[in-house]
Amino acid sequence: MREALRASPILGTKGCSFSARRDFAARYTPSCAITLDLPTSALAACDRVKISQSAVCTGNQDQDDRVKCSHCNSEFSVAHGGRSDIKDRLHSSKHKKSLACAASSSKLTSFFKTASSNDKNLDLAAKEATFAYHTANHSLSFNSNSCSSKLISKFFEPKFSLGKTECEAIVLNVIAPLAQEELKEDLTKSNYASISMDASNRKDIKLVAIVVRYFNPNSGVQVKLLDFKSVAGETSEILTNHLCSVLLQNDLNNKVVGFCGDNCNTNFGGVKRAGQKMVSIDSRIA
């Protein structure tokens, strides 16, 4: 390398053109990491030394004898020492410290999700959705994901982010609609179904859960949640109207062969009970 530089008529000619120096540098210094857009005086110093990948310099447009290192962000002159100035910069403590910090640190952009979806982003989204399904399937609190997400990102995947807000959004807007769609598709293929209903109070909120039991030829007998909403009260009239509306929404009004409820007075008993009203609506319900 050094002999080629000394024997070069281009470098030996005083006042040679910048394009000639650039072509020679590209030919004889393929591993040189210094950019070739340097001024003539700065390029002359760079041509005389084989710079490793640790030195990436750019020229100064205002001063021809000064270059700037992109690693340590230092600007220095190469007018007096030439290649020794570059060597001194490579061995300086500031440059070495900058290289060590760059090697031990990750780019900030690596922790952010890109706008475009690639295979890696889709794989990460699938992992987060799977963990959200795990949370809902085992009846875990959404608040627990704020802690679990930090542990997973610390130990396994730095980009994994599934706090309580995101987990709730995935369960309510992705998993729940998909489960309801699959349930409705199964119910269209089923000829008979039985319904169970129960109410639960929490302070002033009255929740009513409706469960459907049906037979699927592929997976056998299935018991799934059909509806879970808050109602205005617990009278037999309110419960009956709510149950009938759910059956009509799922096209089950002609498929129900059984009704099950607890021993609450509003479900079974006298004339003003939900069980009696269901019998009056469809005589096949027992």
* Residues 142 and 201 occupy one common structural domain: no
Q: Is the pLDDT of residue 24 over 90?
A: no
Q: What percent of the chain has pLDDT over 90?
A: 11
**Tokens at 123, concatenated:** 């794989």
Helical packing angle, 144-155 and 119-137, nearest 10°: 140
| Within-domain flag for 83 | yes
* Residues 198 and 252 occupy one common structural domain: yes
Q: Which residue has the higher pLDDT, 17 or 141?
A: 141
**Tokens at 213, concatenated:** 């039991």
Q: Is the pLDDT of residue 242 over 80?
A: yes
Q: Indicate the pLDDT class of residue 37, thresholds 50, 70 and 90.
A: very low
Residue 271, pLDDT score: 52
Instruction: Report the C-alpha gap between 204 and 5 in whole angstroms.
Output: 89
pLDDT digits (tens, 9 = 90+) for 109-136: 776 766 677 788 888 888 999 999 999 8
Residue 223, pLDDT score: 92
| Within-domain flag for 100 | no
pLDDT digits (tens, 9 = 90+) for 65-97: 677 777 777 777 777 777 777 777 777 888 788
| Within-domain flag for 20 | no
| Within-domain flag for 23 | no
* Residues 212 and 257 occupy one common structural domain: yes
Task: Point out the domain boundary residue: 137, 152, 181.
Answer: 181
* Residues 209 and 257 occupy one common structural domain: yes
With a CB cutoff of 8 Å and minimum separation 6, the contacts of 130 are: none
* Residues 156 and 228 occupy one common structural domain: no
Could you list the residue range(s) of the whole structural domain that residue 79 is in? 57-94
Q: Is the pLDDT of residue 145 over 60?
A: yes
| Within-domain flag for 197 | yes
* Residues 280 and 217 occupy one common structural domain: yes
Residue 268, pLDDT score: 54
* Residues 175 and 226 occupy one common structural domain: no
| Within-domain flag for 47 | no
| Within-domain flag for 167 | yes
* Residues 211 and 281 occupy one common structural domain: yes
Cα dihedral 250, 255, 258, 263 in deg (nearest 10): 20
| Within-domain flag for 222 | yes
Cβ(41)–Cβ(78) under 8 Å? yes
Q: Is the pLDDT of residue 241 over 80?
A: yes
Q: What percent of the chain has pLDDT over 70?
A: 66
* Residues 151 and 195 occupy one common structural domain: no
pLDDT digits (tens, 9 = 90+) for 201-233: 888 888 889 999 999 888 889 999 999 888 887
* Residues 197 and 268 occupy one common structural domain: yes
* Residues 149 and 213 occupy one common structural domain: no
Cα dihedral 30, 33, 39, 40 in deg (nearest 10): -40
Q: What's the number of domains the chain is made of?
A: 3
In the predicted model, what is the mean pLDDT of the chain?
Answer: 73
* Backbone region of residue 212 per phi and psi (left: phi > 0; alpha: psi in -120 to 50; beta: other values): beta
Q: Indicate the pLDDT class of residue 45, thresholds 50, 70 and 90.
A: very low
* Residues 84 and 148 occupy one common structural domain: no
